[in-house]
Amino acid sequence: MVKKLIGMRDLPDNLGVKLEDSFRKEIFDMAISIVCSVRKLSELLNCDRTAIWQWKTGKILIKISLLKKLSDLTKVPLKKVENKIIGIRCKRVDGNDFIRIKFPIFSSPELASIIGHAMADGNITKRQFSFFNQRRELVDEVITNVRIAFRADVTPREFEKEGGWEIEFPTNISLLVSLSGAPLGKKVSKPFDVPNWIKEGDNKIKSSFLRALFDDEGWIKIKFIKSTSSTQRMIGINMSKNEKFIDSHKQFFENIRKLLQDLKINSSNVSKMGKTKNGINLGIIISNVTNLNIFLKKIGFTNIPKKQKLIECLNNSIRFKELFGIVKQ
């Protein structure tokens, strides 16, 4: 079920937005007609008459606080107003002061993927939403999903770094990602959890979120156990957190386990996987070729080397061949 996540009521009052031309003129004409003059409207809005003209003709962007006042005055519902927003203030490389975007923002697999990447290799500050990865397909995925999820024409700044690529989206894109449930600031030093709209979403949303997390933070391993002369094949994921927030970090992984269970994938209990300079490392492991096969089919990897490694891992299993046969690449 698609869920509305961000509308006008969720946006900060000082955010500047661009309206559809015809609607912008219409709502200002309505307001002027109600109060009988531009002068009286300017007094009511505590601005000069020049500002009224600039807003009405689209010379300058309109703040959310002003739109709320116009909605109250004209009795035009906020829901209708937000549907007429076509852009938000964002300084762009090409000199424009806004990016085209469509409200309201709804839940989607693309947005779930963005949240997963933001919780892993991404970073959100009040200035920007950035993402770094050495796999180009993951960088391109984030760019595409931002454009789809927010119905935006945004292009991030991009530069090569440490054998990979870093992309940086402007301030108000970081605001939208944060409002959608991604953590703001240094992730290792603050608690966060899977957003409710993902936990309550359909399997496509859950799969997309998990794929992004495992693409960034997951690993695949084949381990030979001498005591039983057997081989263990597994997918794992672990992340570190400051010790002060270890209980919330455990709950985060418990919810990851629950999402996997919703997709019929069993995993280990949440366990400590060592210490790092950032704190305690917690994680889970998925083993058993049946679970790995379901993971490949229902979640999979966008990360090409990880996808190939999982396929090879399954194809090398005699037990898997007996149950499922060879996996096509």
Q: Mind listing the pLDDT tens digit for each residue in 222-250?
A: 887 767 666 788 999 999 999 999 999 99
Query: Which CATH number covers residue 165?
Result: 3.10.28.10
Claim to verify: residue 305 and residue 235 sit in the same structural domain: yes
Residues contacting residue 301 through CB under 8 Å, at least 6 positions apart: 211, 214, 215, 218, 307, 310
For residue 223, the model assigns a pLDDT of 81
Claim to verify: residue 219 and residue 174 sit in the same structural domain: no
How far, CA to CA in Å, does 313 sit from each of 228, 265, 317, 324? 19, 17, 7, 13
The answer to whether residue 13 is domain-embedded is yes
Claim to verify: residue 220 and residue 319 sit in the same structural domain: yes
The answer to whether residue 197 is domain-embedded is no
Residues contacting residue 132 through CB under 8 Å, at least 6 positions apart: 121, 161, 162, 164, 165, 166, 167
Longest dimension (CA), the chain: 89
Asked if residue 129 lies in contact with residue 169, where contact means CB atoms within 8 angstroms, the answer is: yes
Claim to verify: residue 128 and residue 95 sit in the same structural domain: no
Asked if residue 209 lies in contact with residue 113, where contact means CB atoms within 8 angstroms, the answer is: yes
Domain count, the chain: 3
By DSSP bridging, strand 62-63 and strand 271-276 are unpaired
For residue 61, the model assigns a pLDDT of 93
How far, CA to CA in Å, does 162 sit from each of 125, 126, 239, 308, 310? 21, 24, 21, 24, 26
Claim to verify: residue 25 and residue 72 sit in the same structural domain: yes
Claim to verify: residue 75 and residue 150 sit in the same structural domain: no
For residue 279, the model assigns a pLDDT of 86
The answer to whether residue 93 is domain-embedded is yes
Peptide bond connecting 12 to the previous residue in cis, omega within 30 degrees of 0: no
For residue 299, the model assigns a pLDDT of 98
| Structure token pair of residue 159 | 């530069």
The answer to whether residue 203 is domain-embedded is no
Asked if residue 87 lies in contact with residue 97, where contact means CB atoms within 8 angstroms, the answer is: no
Claim to verify: residue 180 and residue 121 sit in the same structural domain: yes
The answer to whether residue 310 is domain-embedded is yes
Claim to verify: residue 240 and residue 179 sit in the same structural domain: no
The answer to whether residue 195 is domain-embedded is no
Claim to verify: residue 87 and residue 47 sit in the same structural domain: yes
Query: Which CATH number covers residue 27?
Result: 1.10.260
Claim to verify: residue 224 and residue 278 sit in the same structural domain: yes
For residue 148, the model assigns a pLDDT of 97
| Other CB atoms within 10 A of residue 221 CB | 13
The DSSP 8-state label assigned to residue 327 in this structure reads P
Evaluate the CA torsion angle 117, 123, 124, 128 in order and state its sign. negative
For residue 329, the model assigns a pLDDT of 64
**Residue range(s) defining the domain that contains residue 39:** 7-104
How far, CA to CA in Å, does 265 sit from each of 251, 261, 287? 18, 5, 10
The answer to whether residue 190 is domain-embedded is no
For residue 23, the model assigns a pLDDT of 97
Q: Which residues of the chain have pLDDT under 50?
A: none
| Other CB atoms within 10 A of residue 198 CB | 22
